[in-house]
Amino acid sequence: MTNPILTDWNTPFQIAPFDAISDSDFAPALDSALEQHRAEIAAIAENPEPASFANTVEALEAAGEALDKVLSVFFTVAGADSNPDREALQREFSPRLAAHFSDISSNKALFRRVADLWARKDELALTPEQARVLMLTHRGLVRAGAALEGDADTRMKEIKSRLATLGTEFTQNLLADEREWYMELSEADLDGLPKFAVDAARAAGREKGVDGPIVTLSRSIIVPFLQFSPRRDLRERAYEAWAARGANGGATDNRDIAAEILALRQERAALLGYDSFADYKLETEMARTPDRVRDLLMAVWEPAKARADADAEVLSQMMHNDGINGALEPWDWRYYAERRRKAEHDLDEAALKPYLQLDRMIDAAFSCANRLFGLEFRAVNLPLYHPDCRAWEVTREGEHVALFIGDYFARGSKRSGAWCSAMRSQARFPREQAPIVINVCNFAKGEPALLSYDDARTLFHEFGHALHQMLSDVTYESISGTSVARDFVELPSQLYEHWLEVPEVLREFAVHAETGEPMPAEMLDKVLGAATFDMGFQTVEYVASALVDLAFHEGDAPADPMARQAEILQDLGIPHAIRMRHATPHFAHVFAGDGYSSGYYSYMWSEVMDADAFAAFEEAGGAFDPERAQALEEHILSAGGSQEPDVLYTAFRGRLPEVGALLKGRGLAA
C-alpha cells in the first residue's frame, strides 16, 4: 500500500490529503523520506565533478522534497491538533531529526565543496540572490559546527540532539500542565463576568466533561476571568496556577530542563569560538550584539517602569477604596486596570466585544490586503485536519497567489498561543511553487464567535506573517517568505496590526453581532484612544522577560535559572504587582526551541520598525497610500531573506528606523 504522505498530492492546490492520512503513516513516511534525503546529500557531497553552484548549492535547495512533505503535515497536526499518538511520535522524531540535520551540517565532504565555492565566490558570476544563498549556506554550516573536528565535532552532535529532546519535553510538560488544571465555578462565581466569559467558561466545562462552568489556563479564558471577576480569592487561585505552569514539581516540572538547556547552549557557543550564546545567536540578527539589544531594552524599561509605578499607585488606591488592605498583587492588576479603564476611558471590553466578530475581523484583514496589494480571497472547501479549519484561495488579477488556511478556535489538542506557518513555501526553483500558509489561533468559540480587542490584533498580526509568506517572490526556498533574521520577522506582522486601528476599517467591519450597527463613533474614539492604556504594565512584563532571556545567555549559564531570574528582576526593580509575561518554566519562546533564545527582544526591535514604517504611510497619502504599499511589497514582503534586513528597510523607508515612534506609540514618551 502506498503511503499517502509520500504520493504525488493530486489534490486541489496540491495540499496534503489530510483525509487519507492516518497517524500510523507518519513513522514509515519519515523513515523513507530521511533515507531519500540522505541519499541526495551523499550524491551531492561525493559528486566527482568539481563543485559548482548548480551541483552543490542548488542541489541542496532541491533536495529533501519528501522530507518537507512529511514534516509540514506532521508538525501542522502535532501543534494544532495533538493526541497521545502524535505526542509519542514527536518525542521519537525530534532527536532523529536533530541527528539527521546534524549529520548534514557536519558532513565534511559537503562542507569542503561549499567552502570551495565560498572561496571562489567572486569568479562564479552569481546573481545577487545566488550570492546571498551561498553566503547563508556557508555561514549556516560553519555555525552548525561543520568546521569542527574530532572530539569537538562529536560533542557538538550530542549537544544538538540533547537540546532537541529537551525542547520537546519542555513543550509537552507545559501542554500537560495547561491541560491538567481547571477550576470549577459555581453559578454564583460567575457574578461580574461578562456574557462572553460566561459562555467560554461553560464551553470549556463541556469540553472537559465537567458539569458546569470552569476556568482553564487558556489565555482566552483566564485573562478575562482575571479582568472581570470580583472574587479576589478565585483570581488568586487561578493566577497562581497560571504562573506555576511548568513549575509544579513532579514529572512535568521544567526548571531542571531550563538549567540543562542553558548550560548546553553555552557549551555549544564556546565550541564554536563565541564568548557567549548571545554573541553567537545575535551574529546573524539585525541587532548584531548583546549590547545593542540591552541598550534598546533599557531605553524602554525606565519610562515603562515609571509609568507602571504611577499606575500601581492609582490601582492600589482603588483597591483600598474597596476596603481591601495590603499590597496590590499580580492577580489584582488586571481587575483594577479594567475598572479604571471603565472609569477613565469608559471602554467596556464586554460592550466592545459584540462589535468584534471573528468573521468580520477576517473580512477586515482580507479587505486591507485587497486595498493595499490587490489580493482577493475566495472561500474553498477542502478536507483539512480538523473541522474548525477554513481555507481561502488567494488571487490577484485572476492569477493564483496562495492558499490561506485559518484554524482559529482554542481546543485542548492545540498548543497555546498563535502562530503562522507555511505548509509549503513560495519558490521558483526547482519549479514554481505557490505557498500554502496557515494561521493558528486560540480564540474562544461562540455563536457567533466574538473577539477581544487583543484577539483581533492577534488575528491581524498572524495575517501579517501570512502576507510575508504569500507575497514572497524569490527563486530559492531557503530565503523565501519569513526566512529572515529573527529580529526582522515580526516587522510585517506587527506592522499589519496598525491597519486594524485605522478608523475607517473599524467603522466598516466592527459591526454589532446582534443589531448589525457599526461601532458608535464615541466607542471608536475610545478604542483608538485606549491604545496606550496600561502600556506601562504591558511594556514592563514584556521587557522583563526579554532582559531575563538576554541575561540567561550572556556569560556563564546560571546553575539555578530561577534564582538568577529573581536576582535580575530585583536589580531591575520590577513593580511588586507585575511579573514576567513568561516566567522561565513556561517561557516556551526561549526553551521550546532555539528560535527566540536571546531573541525575545526582537518583538520590540520590530516594534521600533513597525511604528516607524507605519509613520511612512501616514507621512505619505495615509494608511492605504498606494506608493507606500507598493514599496512595502517590493522591498519587504516579497523580498524574504534575499538581502540584509537593514538594506531592505532602508530601501523601503529611505533611512534606518528611529526609536522615537515606539515610545510615542506606547504613550511612554516624556
Which residues are marked as active site? 462
Choice between 226 and 543, CB closer to Zn ion: 543
Where does this chain touch Zn ion (CB under 5 A) — which range of 471-479, 486-494, 552-560, 569-577?
A: 486-494
What 8-state DSSP symbol labels residue 556?
S
In the complex, the smallest distance separating the C-beta of residue 465 from Zn ion, rounded to whole angstroms, is 6
What 8-state DSSP symbol labels residue 409?
E
Where does this chain touch Zn ion (CB under 5 A) — which range of 225-233, 327-335, 484-492, 518-526?
A: 484-492
- Interface with Zn ion, residue 357, by CB under 5 A: no
- Interface with Zn ion, residue 421, by CB under 5 A: no
**Number of residues in the chain:** 670
Site for Zn ion in 133-192 (CB under 5 A): none
**What is the number of other CB atoms lying within 10 angstroms of the CB of residue 301?**
20
Torsion over CA of 243, 245, 247 and 253, rounded to 10 degrees?
Answer: -170
In the complex, the smallest distance separating the C-beta of residue 454 from Zn ion, rounded to whole angstroms, is 14
Q: Pairing between strand 214-216 and 182-184? A: antiparallel
The answer to whether the beta carbons of residues 63 and 37 sit under 8 Å apart is: yes
In the complex, the smallest distance separating the C-beta of residue 456 from Zn ion, rounded to whole angstroms, is 15
In the complex, the smallest distance separating the C-beta of residue 606 from Zn ion, rounded to whole angstroms, is 8
Choice between 285 and 311, CB closer to Zn ion: 285
Choice between 245 and 486, CB closer to Zn ion: 486
620 three-state secondary structure: coil
CA distance 392 to 394: 6
Which residue of this chain has its Cβ atom nearest to Zn ion in the complex? 493
Q: Total residues contacting Zn ion (rule CB under 5 A)?
A: 2
- Interface with Zn ion, residue 483, by CB under 5 A: no
10 Å CB burial of residue 50 (0-12, 13-18, 19+) is exposed
10 Å CB burial of residue 490 (0-12, 13-18, 19+) is buried
- Interface with Zn ion, residue 458, by CB under 5 A: no
- Interface with Zn ion, residue 439, by CB under 5 A: no
Choice between 3 and 493, CB closer to Zn ion: 493
The overall longest dimension of the chain from CA atoms, in Å, is 83
In the complex, the smallest distance separating the C-beta of residue 420 from Zn ion, rounded to whole angstroms, is 7
The answer to whether the beta carbons of residues 506 and 519 sit under 8 Å apart is: yes
Choice between 130 and 482, CB closer to Zn ion: 482
Which residue in the set 72, 493, 539, 584 belongs to the binding site for Zn ion (CB under 5 A)?
Answer: 493
In the complex, the smallest distance separating the C-beta of residue 194 from Zn ion, rounded to whole angstroms, is 28
HSE (side-chain half, CA atoms, 13 Å) at 661: 19
Where does this chain touch Zn ion (CB under 5 A) — which range of 106-114, 342-350, 354-362, 483-491?
A: 483-491
> Which positions ≥6 away from 160 have C-beta within 8 Å?
98, 102, 268
> Which positions ≥6 away from 39 have C-beta within 8 Å?
none
Choice between 213 and 665, CB closer to Zn ion: 665
The answer to whether the beta carbons of residues 368 and 503 sit under 8 Å apart is: no
Site string for Zn ion, 366-395 (x = CB under 5 A): ------------------------------
For binding to Zn ion (CB under 5 A), which residues are involved?
Answer: 490, 493
